[in-house]
Amino acid sequence: MDLSKLERVEEFIYEIPADYRDDMNVPARIVADRSLLEQIKDDLSLEQLINVTTLPGIAFWALGMPDIHQGYGFPVGGVAATKLPDGVISPGGIGFDINCGVRLLRTGIVHRDVRDKIEPLVHELSRSVPSGYGRSGRLTLANAQMVEGVLEGGVPYLVERIGVGEPDDVEFIESGGRIDGANIAFVSEKAKQRGRDQLGTLGGGNHFLEVQVIDELFDEAAAEAMGLVPGELTVLIHTGSRGLGHQVCTDYLREFGRVMAEHDIELPDRQLACAPMSSEAGKRYFGAMCAAANFAFCNRQVLTHRVRQVIARELGEAVDAKVEVVYDVAHNIAKVEEFDGDEYCVHRKGATRAFGPSMPDVPTAYRDIGQPVFIPGSMGTSSFVLVGTDEAAAASLNSTCHGAGRQMSRTAAKKRIGGKELRKELASRGIVVRCPSNAELAEEAPLAYKDVDRVVDVVSQAGIANKVARLRPVGVLKG
């Protein structure tokens, strides 16, 4: 796209005005600097963002984050709010991997005390955490009661009824690990079957489990509130709802494609298929999406349980470890949220909440600092912990980005570097890697991603989240 069409409205916010195209209902905005804009223009993400502005009921603007890149219908790194009750909900604005998200665990383990144990630790994690496409886990939804418990009860059900995890975990998960509105009656049998044996699995693509060292602090008070101490190990888990969520999205994209005509909805891209939230189809999708989101929270909860078991088994005699949840945040989801007294359906695809200290959903322990935000890099670069700001409400609909963002397709990445070569390169930098496929490893090479430091700096300078800590990888388990 021709960047000359962008108007700078603030130092790090650019806008395509609503009169750029006749069918636009609101402007399209993007949070970026000039360097990131030059990378963004190389795919169709800005065109997709403009298409999002045509959704019925969309308010404010369609917003692109610094990690924006081309996706299905919506760009990845896209945020849009539609005014309720009749504004639409669009599965493409949530994504196929519903509630793909990130959970950070602190361990209390000092890296230098276990430096020679990192490789066997990562190896044992790879044995306990199934990764790769189609892999099954060890906790099967064996009966209808368990299906209902997980899909409607979320993490509280796992903790209270199955004994997976600790009671304190729930406090530090977005929405308490359970989104109200979930209804298993709206989840197809095929979706339930696909998810039956996938709790506690990473899946493929860019999903990962990463062992990291807290490398640097930028805000000591916020870091103290989160229990982050320089030199200690953390574990970052990135996965979602697996086949169950994918099937929910597939099912309702088909249904919405059929019902749009009933609501006189015409869109420039069929991948934006949608329905009013107040419609029967919209209510069914929202109920199914919430159920899939609960499944994803439970998936990360089971993985947390596995991490605790492995660390206790491998390091228990050497260190006094206590693995605790810092926070868990979703980045492929739609939530009903309030702005200026009105309710909106806020779509976040490849974007996360960035709630400031004044928001009631922030855990009590973080009320003075704001909600933790995680922006992972790639397996060869650092990840960052930030906190949301109250200014993010007006600047970005309480949202920020979910990672560095791809700057190169998976096919292009594989042409640039081989998996075997990449393993050696990472090993030379002290990073232990386990991945079932060299091809899949190459697809996620660090060179395929934007500069995470630049992305994080833009987020911070735009005022939507503040930097707290940098995490350096020492062990990576890739999906």
Strand partners, 324: 106
376 in a labelled binding site:
yes
Task: Classify residue 401 by its DSSP letter.
Answer: E
Token pair of 331 as six digits: 């980045």
CB atoms within 10 A of CB 461: 12
208 in a labelled binding site:
yes
Burial of 217-236, coded b for 16+ CB within 10 Å and e otherwise, reads: bbbeebbebbebeeebbbbb
C-alpha distances in Å from residue 185, one per residue of 49, 132, 182, 289, 415: 33, 29, 9, 12, 45
- Catalytic pick from 69, 246, 305, 402? 402
131 in a labelled binding site:
no
347 in a labelled binding site:
no
97 in a labelled binding site:
yes
209 in a labelled binding site:
yes
User: Residue 331: CB partners within 8 Å, gap ≥ 6?
Assistant: 100, 101, 102, 348, 349, 350, 351, 352, 402
167 in a labelled binding site:
no
Query: Contact at 8 Å (CB) between 97 and 289?
Result: no
263 in a labelled binding site:
no
404 in a labelled binding site:
yes
Catalytic, 402? Answer: yes
Task: Classify residue 337 by its DSSP letter.
Answer: E
378 in a labelled binding site:
yes
CA–CA distance, 93 with 73 (Å, rounded to integer): 7
Summarize the chain as % helix, strand, coil (round to 5): 40, 25, 35
Q: Give CA angle at 233 (230, 237), nearest 5°.
A: 125
51 in a labelled binding site:
no
φ and ψ at 175, to 5 degrees?
Answer: 60, 25
CA–CA distance, 411 with 361 (Å, rounded to integer): 40
Token pair of 256 as six digits: 């919405």
Q: Which parts are annotated binding residues for GMP?
A: 206-210, 331-332, 376-379, 383, 402-405, 478
Q: Which parts are annotated binding residues for Mn(2+)?
A: 97, 207, 238, 331
Active site residues: 402
Q: Which parts are annotated binding residues?
A: 97, 206-210, 238, 331-332, 376-379, 383, 402-405, 478
